[in-house]
Amino acid sequence: MTDQGPVLAADAVSKSFGGAVALRAVSLSLFAGEAHGLLGENGAGKSTLVRILAGVIRPDGGRLLLDGKPATFRSPAEAQAARVAVIYQEPTLFSDLSIAENVLIGRAPRRSLGRIDHQAARAAVAALFAELGVALDAARLVRGLSIAGQQLVEIAKALSNDARVLIMDEPTAALTGEETAHLFEVVRRLRQRSVAVLFITHRIEEAFAECQRLTVLRDGAQVASGEIEGFTPAQAVRLMVGRALDTFYPPRRSERGAPALSVRNLSAGGAYAAIDLDVHSGEVVALAGLVGAGRSEVLRGIFGIDPREGSVRVFGREVPPADPRAAMRAGLALVPEDRRQQGLVLELSVIRNATLAILSRLRRGPFASPARERATTTEWGAKLKLKARRLSDAVATLSGGNQQKVVLSKWLATAPKVLLIDEPTRGIDVGAKAELHQLLATLARQGLAVLMVSSELPEVLGMADRILVMREGRIVGELSAAAASQEAVMAFATGHEAMLQRAHEPA
């Protein structure tokens, strides 16, 4: 490892919010040319530490050191002036401006009379993209860019500001495998330029593949820090959650009931066509496939968010198209892929979000009963181990994983017969993932039918009783739990299923 001192360090940093302690004397050192992984469950203090390093909030105790000298960041602008850049899990770009304008915002080259030199700006950003190996048109609008593309724009913005420290908060949570691989190629180029990278992730395997140092937080305290060679993935998980996760995926279920959800000839324009599937009571069925295969669109069509043709039945009862209220009355519930945009009302309280789907049941007279709302939220919060300082706080104040738990609470409170769940553990830490897997297994044992979309193949293989693989809007293969493997799923997803047949032919 490097013989030079750290570029940026946190020395015994502490922070409290009211009576809640978020950080307890946490120390962290970031070295030039290294990637440093920061691991911890939701609520462990990772986001608080990032906000301190970014100048968003100031610590109550301890200090920051820049090149070994005490530093104080009173605002994000002061952190940026010290060449510290942050890329948050949700990119913060201006969608109606061009990529070049976003990258150079506030620093664009000028022509006479102070006018922006757009041609020079596009040329400068194109040169940055060439250096990073990024194939993006600097002149195009940000609107319509994928999350991966937006993150690459954020990296270019940091590089254009000559950042020495790049903090990346869950950068791969919404990316495909190919997008993740490309992102890490860019990060390696940044390290070659002596940039210090802080990499916050819930994906243990990524930290061990890309990082040279590791720090683990638990309940606001630093429980371990050192070179990556001093850890194993299993040790890191134990440090994060305070226990071994021997049952990350629950045991298989062998019994299933009658068909709870029956879909026939479901079609919607160019999104998907001729979808036939059944999900039985007590069964978890996964829709697998590459991003863009139409999996999320199928869930939205079943639930009635988007128009569709074909038949959807719940225990034989026909569910009319494009009518989510009718779907709810029939016993369907949908946990969407994008919790912030589609699953929550961020400015409303945790209590109100958790009870939105059942307000009519909680009425006393013309109004919902606050006592019943609180009791329902408390009950499901306990079952899902929700971490919130106050249930009356806006749900936007929660971590991403805890926001996901609120969305789950909202829909499980409806006592659904069929749960449609899209990317259930995206942005959730390893301990919360295990808890969610156990919850879904318990609900299935109690008779719930679960149709799940997940881009994480280990989760698909660990949770599903059956796997339906989609490609280009159609179901192209079905695998039982016993016959499923990552290779088999990907063979169907990429159109190479003939290789599976040849592999099982006798020699």
The residue with tokens 């808890």 is: 435
Dihedral of alpha carbons 46, 52, 58, 59, sign: positive
Q: How far apart are CA 327 and CA 24, in angstroms?
A: 47
Same fold, 8-93+142-241 and 258-331+418-507: yes
List, as one string, the DSSP characters of 108-162: --B-GGG-B-HHHHHHHHHHHHHHHT----TTSBSTT--HHHHHHHHHHHHHHTT
pLDDT of the residue at 501:
60
pLDDT of the residue at 186:
85
Q: How far apart are CA 47 and CA 399, in angstroms?
A: 8
pLDDT of the residue at 257:
93
Is the pTM of the predicted complex or chain greater than 0.75? no
Per residue in 101-150, pLDDT tens?
999 988 888 988 888 899 999 999 999 888 778 888 999 999 988 777 88
Per residue in 260-275, pLDDT tens?
999 999 999 889 999 9
Helix-helix angle 177-192:147-160, to 10 degrees? 10
pLDDT of the residue at 397:
87
Q: What DSSP state is assigned to residue 33?
A: T
Topology of domain 8-93+142-241, per CATH? Answer: Rossmann fold (3.40.50)
Q: What DSSP state is assigned to residue 361?
A: G
pLDDT of the residue at 253:
64
Going from N- to C-terminal start, the domains of the chain cover 8-93+142-241, 258-331+418-507, 341-415
Q: What DSSP state is assigned to residue 391?
A: T
Dihedral of alpha carbons 327, 329, 331, 337, sign: positive
pLDDT of the residue at 452:
97
pLDDT of the residue at 247:
54
pLDDT of the residue at 169:
87
Topology of domain 258-331+418-507, per CATH? Answer: Rossmann fold (3.40.50)
pLDDT of the residue at 177:
72
Give the pair of three-digit tokens for residue 257.
Answer: 């009931």
Regions of the chain where pLDDT drops below 50: 507
Give the pair of three-digit tokens for residue 423.
Answer: 């990317």
Q: For residue 215, what is the enclosing H or E element?
A: strand 213-218
Give the pair of three-digit tokens for residue 283.
Answer: 């069964």
pLDDT of the residue at 172:
79
Q: What DSSP state is assigned to residue 249?
A: S
pLDDT of the residue at 436:
86
